[in-house]
Structure 1
Amino acid sequence: MFRSPRPRTVAELPPQWREQLYRQVPHAVMVPAALSRIYEDRVRDFLLQKRFVPCAGLKLSDDMRVAVAGLACLLVLRPGARLFPDVRAVLLYADRFYVKHDEPDEFGLVSDAPVEQLGESWHGDRVVLSWADVEAALHGDAVNVVAHEFAHQLDDENPDVQGAPALHDYSRWSEVMLREYQRLQRHRRPPVLDPYGAESPGEFFGVATEAFFQRGAALRQHHAELYALFHDYYGLDTAQHALWGAHRKMP
């Protein structure tokens, strides 16, 4: 008589990482108790599966790795979400960095002048981040480079539609996002959304995701339908939490 194999036990988030997560990432307060284990498991898997590469002399620490993982994994708590399967490495600079792009501008001209960046999302294998800007997001800056660049990775999971993640039904998403995108293009100086989001539907998705996590209450006040759309997609009610200075106690 054969016994059924015992289910494999998956280790919890190590205590040191857990302490670092709840000490550093105020956004953890957004995660309801029912999703705490899922969140911690996502953070653990991110840290185990993604390679962190320090760039330009950065001294990489576990605090940095846990902070990036803690912010990124807030985007993948919904049922069925995948843990950024195409991302193999996170490249981390101490501050903003310069890159050369060979894409033509709106006039068809190509410049070889380096451009300052705080983050980049590459199709297929990596995300590049400025640690100074990651820290700024942790301390309340409206810009959240981790949310923005990893939103691009979600966008890349659906190559057929720019500015939309993989969904079963795109009707509501398309209606709300198009209306809000066009509104940003018309006004360019809204109270919540960064005007950079008017560059393309993909950048709008990134900018709107930043606002959802950094300025949830303001987004709900000024863009109620957009907030509701992201609330349903990300599964978090970010407007309910005043983050800065109120780190969540470990559950």
Structure 2
Amino acid sequence: MDTVTTVFLLICAAGLGLFVFQTFWRDKLIRRRAFPGAWRDILDRNLPPYGALSDEERQQLHQLINLFLAEKTFYGCAGLEITDEIRLTIAGHACLLVLNQGGSVYPKLMSILVYPTGFRVEREQMLENGTLATQDNHLLGESWSNGKVILSWDDVEKGASDFSDGHNVVLHEFAHQLDGLSGSTNGAPPLRRNSYQSWARVFSDNFEDLRTRSLLGRKTLMDTYGATNPAEFFAVATETFFERPQELQRLRPELFEELAEYYRVDPRKWQQQ
């Protein structure tokens, strides 16, 4: 290796090291920022598990929210003005999913677009006869792979007001963001402690069972929207895990255990206090 190449590589290594060092300390300083009392009041009102968190969990949640708000940009759409209540409510629910995870907070996410109510989008869809048709869809939220999440504030509020019905648009869309960290949104997020073999078996079995029950019109614990595809199943399973953990553990114990291992929390404790 010639001298010029060696010097170039040393400069690159030094630059990378400086970037990592600065990022580490920047994140550490952001996490340690004071968490205003007004923000705590918002979480008390709009994040039902907040009051049941342990002191350690609550402190960790504050740090994650500080980092989330520092790194992500909120945009109000259709005339909606972004307030602290909107930012804190969405950030609180989103960061609940990454308690005890360590590392960065939704590293691929850059923007959260918030509409006052459900929004409409036109999409081209392939029909059974092979032709394309434009369809008008009414949506409560969307998660994009290009660093955006779109939410309806009206539906965020509905999810926050009842944390036991298994429906929460923030948990749903941010579960998609976690899923997409693998490079593909397919119901198999990057796993740290779970066995991929066990995950695939449990999720496949439960997905097929939900599909069958949905087709036969049988009663289901999870929203049948989860039968759409594996990605939607993971998002709906996440909603159910956090909002109806007692029932999920009783009716789908293996699925509950996989999710508990992945998220590293037990939401049943938050409901018992």
1:156-190 per-residue CA deviation (whole Å, 9 max, x = no partner) reads 10125720111144122112111111111111144
Is 2:83 aligned against 1:42?
no
CA drift of 1:125 comes to: 1.2
Q: 2:159 aligns with which of 137, 159, 176?
A: 137
Is 2:180 aligned against 1:146?
no
Contact 1:142 1:215 in 2 (8 A): yes
Segments of structure 1 that go 5 or more residues without pairing to the other structure are 1-6, 247-251
Q: Structure 1 residues 190 and 31 mapped into 2: Cα distance closer, same or farther (>3 Å)? A: farther
**Any idea what SS the aligned residue of 1:60 has?**
coil
Is 2:124 aligned against 1:102?
yes
Letter in 2 for 1:143: H
Could you say which residue in structure 2 is the equivalent of 1:59? Answer: 81
Distance in structure 2 (CA, Å) of the matches to 1:19 and 1:68: 14
Could you say which residue in structure 2 is the equivalent of 1:183? Answer: 209
Alpha carbon RMSD of aligned pairs, Å? 2.1
Is 2:187 aligned against 1:163?
yes
Q: Give the alignment's TM-score, normalised by structure 2.
A: 0.80
Distance in structure 2 (CA, Å) of the matches to 1:230 and 1:180: 13
Distance in structure 1 (CA, Å) of the matches to 2:157 and 2:131: 35
Distance in structure 1 (CA, Å) of the matches to 2:184 and 2:46: 37
Q: Percent identity?
A: 36
Q: Which has the larger radius of gyration?
A: 2
Q: Give the alignment's TM-score, normalised by structure 1.
A: 0.87
Distance in structure 1 (CA, Å) of the matches to 2:101 and 2:153: 30
Aligned pair count? Answer: 238
Greater relative contact order: 1 or 2 (C-alpha under 8 angstroms, separation 6 or more)? 1
Question: Larger % of helix: which?
Answer: 2
Is 2:150 aligned against 1:121?
no
Distance in structure 2 (CA, Å) of the matches to 1:107 and 1:147: 36
CA drift of 1:33 comes to: 2.9
Contact 1:123 1:156 in 2 (8 A): yes
Letter in 2 for 1:210: E
Could you say which residue in structure 2 is the equivalent of 1:235? Answer: 264
